[in-house]
Chain A
């Protein structure tokens, strides 16, 4: 299929439609508003629903309603708006409902700014709302991946009956690149739990996250974490780049990984063997490859658009066997290849 030139946010929207999503609920916020604008144009033409909700809270609860009815559904927002959605995300997780939530991150905390950031890593990967739960978290690093991982997120959400998050950032949302859009495909996942109306043929289905008997609630949590174990075993995705002979391993996702690749090329030109692990799934986190890599490198450099959030997961994965340094810019700033190169050189030279 021919490639088309698209903005990241629009690629998400078109890919979602092609993945069978016919219901979108959102609320305007920069830098993700193009997703809503695209859906507003397309959905009425294909018999779908675009609804601008009165708030992010309402939008996520509309998502909860459609998912309860057994259909593919999504919402998108940016950092402050995603904070508002956390209540609903916790309820989706607690009711074992699949859905796609897109976070095109901007700088924070508070109202923050409108430039790119990765500072919602903790919120996305550790739960975000109240209670014990995880989302499947996918981190695209190109417009192509904005499309591909959107489809993947719907599939994984349905497979494991859990909400999935596409954790992008303002750069990914706003940049234009050629993209090969996924084929339109029929998605008929069997959902016997869905609220379709009993049609007089079965007992009533109940979708609920309330269990007042502690033994029952504990059982529900244990069941859910058994499912998470399978996710952690089977669904880890990452990219290796020049890792085979690397002395310094950069770990970065999204836009930070793209900057890091330039820095790695520059380092190699100077004779420093640097390589990259780019997590594509942030939950499940690619722990094994990081642990294995720790045996062969001098240390790791975590490149992030945050004050250092993923760095904790790197340290846990490599069990503090090798040093890990942070190379980061925040507030909407992006580390330059030179800054990343400096961090690689410092690690190579033992200066940290």
Chain B
């Protein structure tokens, strides 16, 4: 019988710990498919963050390291400089990448470090039980913004793709979502491109994936995907923010 669908080689058999309805599973799969498609599994090294994806080291079947909170781009820099022939990716959440690790993110980008960054933005700290993130929307209720995010006292959300595309150096920056089939297919293409860029030695690629957190948003998975559509994407418009291959043409 012909195989029409199977688990990517780049994923292990370990059961995922993510909450029901969480889209980390989809994003893990897209990363693994990109690694499989490019035939780079044996030379790929992944960097797990601190946050919901902390145990990603158990889920990807390539060599893996667990970094301190926010430091994944610095750890990835070390790995890549040590063994440039390897393909190095980080997988980070919004608190990790856009709050505590902002310096590491910006400087890896401005060095055009030849790494791939997968940035999962679900507008909340999930692992610690739903606190305000640097990307929580204005008015969003969380455990540490119980009356809604008040932009007058805590400021506005950080738009990472827009911010990084103000730099001259980074090679590729795109924002995608995984809330419907069409967006998943686009996300798959973007993530694959981000790995391809590294294989070709082009430099820093970051894919922001607008994601959902039904548990900490206090919504059903279905309603959470709708909220991505109605509230998240309008604030975080999808699209390519930087593509140096196009600029060259």
Contact = CB atoms under 8 A, between A and B. Distances in A.
B43 A199 contact: yes
Interface residues on A, range: 35 or more
A206 B65 contact: yes
Contacts of A195: 45, 63-65, 79, 86
A87 B55 CA distance: 20
Contacts of A73: 78, 82
A66 B88 CA distance: 12
A300 interface: no
A95 B83 CA distance: 20
Contacts of A210: 54-55, 66
B60 interface: yes
Contacts of B86: 69, 195-197
B104 A61 contact: yes
Interface in A44-78: 49, 51, 53-55, 57-59, 61-71, 73
Contact of A69 (B44, B83, B104): B83
B63 A61 contact: no
A23 B74 contact: no
Given A58-B103, A68-B75, A197-B62, A23 B81 contact: yes
Given A53-B74, A64-B78, A65-B77, A198 B41 contact: yes
A230 interface: no
Contact of B83 (A61, A88, A197, A206): A197
A58 B71 contact: yes
B75 A64 contact: yes
Interface of B: 12, 41-45, 47, 54-55, 57-58, 60-68, 71, 74-83, 86, 103-104, 106-107
Interface of A: 23, 25, 49, 51, 53-55, 57-59, 61-71, 73, 87-88, 91, 95, 195-201, 204-210
Given A53-B107, A64-B75, 19 more contacts: A49-B81, A54-B103, A54-B104, A57-B104, A58-B71, A62-B78, A65-B79, A71-B83, A95-B65, A195-B63, A196-B86, A197-B42, A197-B44, A197-B45, A204-B60, A205-B64, A206-B57, A208-B64, A208-B66
